[in-house]
Every structure is written in C-alpha cells, then in structure tokens.
Amino acid sequence: MSAHTNPTEVTEGNFAGYDLIVVGSGFYGLTVAERAATQLGKRVLVLERRGHLGGNAYSEAEPETGIEVHRYGAHLFHTSNKRVWDYVTQFTEFTDYQHRVFAKYQGQVYTFPMNLALINQFFGKSHTPDEARALIAEQSSEIDTKDAQNLEEKAISLIGRPLYEAFVRGYTAKQWQTDPKELSASIITRLPVRYNFNNRYFNDTYEGLPVDGYTAWLERMADHENIDVRLNVDYFDVRAQIPAGTPTVYTGPLDRYFDYREGRLGWRTLDFEQEVVPTGDFQGTSVMNYNDQEVPYTRIHEFRHFHPERDYPADKTVVVREYSRFAKEDDEPYYPINTPDDREKLERYRELANTEAKERNVLFGGRLGTYKYLDMHMAIGSALTAFDNKIAPHLSDGAPLDGSLDA
C-alpha cells in the first residue's frame, strides 16, 4: 500500500492522474477503491482525515497486554449475503466466533436478547414456549400497539410492562439521554422475544471475526499498486485543488459536504473509557449490557473474549465502558437520530445531491454519506452494488454519476 501518512505539502499536482477519488477509508470507501483498482485497472486516491486506515472499524493492540481493541466500539461481522461473504473472504479468514450478549439488571445477569431462559429466570418459574407466549401476550395487552403514543407505550405493547421496565427503560434512557415517554414510538419497530433457549445474538448464515484483526483485513483491501492512501488529509482542506470533474465517492458526513446549508443532521455519539484490569477475566463474556438507569454506561466490552483462540496474558485483561449521548458539533457521529426534522433536512440534502453534486461527479455512500445506519456487511454490499450500477459504468463508459444517495 502506498500511503503518505504525514504529507508536508498538498498541491494540485498531487491529485493529477487519478481516475477516482475516494473520501474516507471505511468499508464502503475501501470496497469501491479495491473494485476500481482490481477490476477496472483504475488509479484510485483514498483521502482519510484520521491518522489510520479503516474508519470506525479500526482495531489495534493495547500496548500493555497485546489484546486487540476495537477503538471505536465493538465490531461484529455477520451477514446472510453470500456475495458479501465471498467478497470479504478474499482478504481475511474468519474465526467461528458467535456473538452472545448478557444483560445485568439489579445485580442479576440474564441472557439477551430476551428468550425463554430470561423469561423463566426473571419471573422465577419454568414456562413452556406456549406458556411464555401467553404470559407476554397477557402483559402486553395493557396497551394496543396502534394506540402507542411514545416509545414507552410502544415497548409495553410489544413485551409488557415488567420486561420493559427491567430491560428497556433504563437502557434506552441512557442511550438517548431522554425519558422514553418523550421519545417517538417510531424508534422501535419490534422488540424480539424468542420462545426458546437460543441466545445467539445474530441469526445470519455467516458470522465470525477476522483471524488477524480488522486492521490487517482493511490494509489488505488497500494493498494494490493502483491505490494510494493519504492519511491525515481532510478532503475539505484540499477539495479546491482536485481537478474539476474528477469522479469522487464521498463517505463523510452528508451535511458537512454542503457546509450545513440545510442545517445539521442529528447524530448520537459514543464515549469510551478503557482500563487494564489485573485479572485474567473480568466478566466472563465479551459484552455485558447494564440495564439499570443509575449505572452511567450502557455496556462493558471485554475484548479478550472476542478471540479466545489467541494467547493473551492470564493475569491482565482490557475492559472498555461505553457511554452514549447526543453528538455535539465536534464529536464523531455514530448513529443517525432520524427525527422527523432530520428526515426533512435529509430530503433537502438529497435534492442538493441530485443537482449540485451531480455536476461535480460526486457519489455519496456509507453510513455518514447517506445518513443511514449501516452494519459492516450492509456498507460493503451497498458499495458493491454502487460499483456495479454507477461507478463502473461511469469509469468504463462515461455514464454520469447521478449524485444520488442510493446505490
């Protein structure tokens, strides 16, 4: 990989001769770059404002323990899309890790998502699947779903008040920094309850973690003679120096591209508190949710459990406490809030993308560039589709990039 990590000078000449500019080196951007380079033989320049490759999927070894930590929160790869699976396995092998989450409430630990084990433990009685269904149906009948006016009422109408108050109310209040009574019912479409003992978090056909870690996987995607990566370069500092009409795939924040002309879109962000603990095992699992509202963090990650096959120290472990809050102007955006006001702004930005950005040969993609919550496999799948339908026809035959936000 040809990467200039600390360019001392960025001039217009630096951008000459490239067939495609990719802004951002997350999975969407790198998928587009890799396809253009390997399938079409095009020269691609990837611009990354951070000092490392990979966007929020970046991982690194904690120096004291050597334990691989996902710097921007846990990333769990899973997909049922065979095309995506076949694509990613070109760059990495995967472990057989299956994600399982546990939830702590009032000093007791429960399996999660809600399943028959949780129901039996929480209500202190063994239920058959039919008995559990009848119990939840009775408790949720307090409110008709179609009459729900807010998130709290919607949740109660789906799972009943006891389970809502234990496993949804406090966690949601911490996530959104808002009383669930003040949150829109539209935030949740369903709250799954499994009436069996299955505690696997995802139901996808393919699941695992990259054997050598995320950073190694991402570096392999960019390791091609036709791809140059420049780290520590903000696209907006150099945009004026890029030759007019150069095809560009932009994966940064959509509102930032247009200088917030239609207002700032709302995001939630995350804060992380990392600690090396002098024990070989802190919590016995990779992720523990903390559902009590008085506990300030939403969950604790213990990263050694993501790779039990590795030879990590037996006397130290790394834990990361995760806090959720609304993003301020200088925070890293993680999850779109997607209020009605946000959706109105998004439509106005879509119109700008279809007019102004179209003229500049810009295509928007990824989580930030489309204001959509995308898991890794969804970002990769979207990038593959955009490459097939828009980017390759443009680079090969001159078909216009239409500036839209969808593949």
Tell me the three state secondary structure of residue 300.
Answer: strand
- For residue 5, the model assigns a pLDDT of 42
CB-CB neighbours of 90 under 10 Å:
10
| 194 has pLDDT over 60 | yes
Decide which of 1.10.150, 1.10.3110, 1.10.40, 1.10.287 is the CATH code for 115-187: 1.10.3110
- Asked if residues 276 and 63 have their Cβ atoms less than 8 Å apart, the reply is no
- For residue 71, the model assigns a pLDDT of 96
Query: What does the pLDDT average to over 32-46?
Result: 98
Q: Which of 207, 219, 322, 342 is catalytic?
A: 322
Helix 169-176 with 151-159: angle, nearest 10 deg = 150
Residue 2 pLDDT level (bands cut at 50, 70, 90): very low
Residue 1 pLDDT level (bands cut at 50, 70, 90): very low
- For residue 21, the model assigns a pLDDT of 97
| CA proximity to 61, closest of 297, 271, 220, 274 | 274
Q: Which of 50, 268, 321, 348 is catalytic?
A: 268
Helix 214-222 with 27-40: angle, nearest 10 deg = 30
Q: Which of 35, 71, 169, 194 is catalytic?
A: 194
Residue 4 pLDDT level (bands cut at 50, 70, 90): very low
| 374 has pLDDT over 50 | yes
Chain length of the chain: 407
Q: Which of 179, 182, 373, 388 is catalytic?
A: 373
- Which one has a higher pLDDT value, 17 or 195? 195
Task: Express each pLDDT in 101-158 by its tens digit.
Answer: 999 999 999 999 999 999 999 999 999 999 999 999 999 999 999 999 999 999 999 9
Cα gap 293→102, rounded to integer Å: 16
Query: What does the pLDDT average to over 380-402?
Result: 93
144 flagged as catalytic: no
Residue 239 pLDDT level (bands cut at 50, 70, 90): very high
334 flagged as catalytic: no
The architecture (CATH level 2) of 7-54+211-262+338-397 comes to 3-Layer(aba) Sandwich (3.40)
Residue 196 pLDDT level (bands cut at 50, 70, 90): very high
Buried b (16+ CB within 10 A) or exposed e, 30-43: bbbbbbbbeebebe
- For residue 202, the model assigns a pLDDT of 94
Query: What does the pLDDT average to over 231-240?
Result: 94
CB-CB neighbours of 396 under 10 Å:
11
Q: Where are the domains of the chain?
A: 7-54+211-262+338-397, 115-187
- Asked if residues 201 and 101 have their Cβ atoms less than 8 Å apart, the reply is yes
Residue 14 pLDDT level (bands cut at 50, 70, 90): confident
268 flagged as catalytic: yes
- For residue 405, the model assigns a pLDDT of 76
- Asked if residues 355 and 330 have their Cβ atoms less than 8 Å apart, the reply is no
Residue 3 pLDDT level (bands cut at 50, 70, 90): very low
| 400 has pLDDT over 90 | no
Query: What does the pLDDT average to over 28-48?
Result: 98
C-beta contacts of 69-74 below 8 A and 24+ residues apart: 69/274, 69/303, 69/318, 69/320, 70/214, 70/301, 70/303, 71/272, 72/270, 72/272, 72/332, 72/334, 73/270, 73/272, 73/301, 73/322, 73/334, 74/286, 74/287, 74/301, 74/303, 74/306
Residue 383 pLDDT level (bands cut at 50, 70, 90): very high
194 flagged as catalytic: yes
- Asked if residues 384 and 348 have their Cβ atoms less than 8 Å apart, the reply is no
Residue 399 pLDDT level (bands cut at 50, 70, 90): confident
Whole-structure pTM value:
0.92
3-7, 76-80, 214-218: range with lowest mean pLDDT: 3-7
- Read off the amino acid at residue 104: K
| 55 has pLDDT over 60 | yes
Residue 10 pLDDT level (bands cut at 50, 70, 90): very low
Q: Which of 190, 225, 311, 397 is catalytic?
A: 190
**What average pLDDT does the structure give for the chain?**
93
299 flagged as catalytic: yes
| 63 has pLDDT over 50 | yes
Residue 13 pLDDT level (bands cut at 50, 70, 90): low
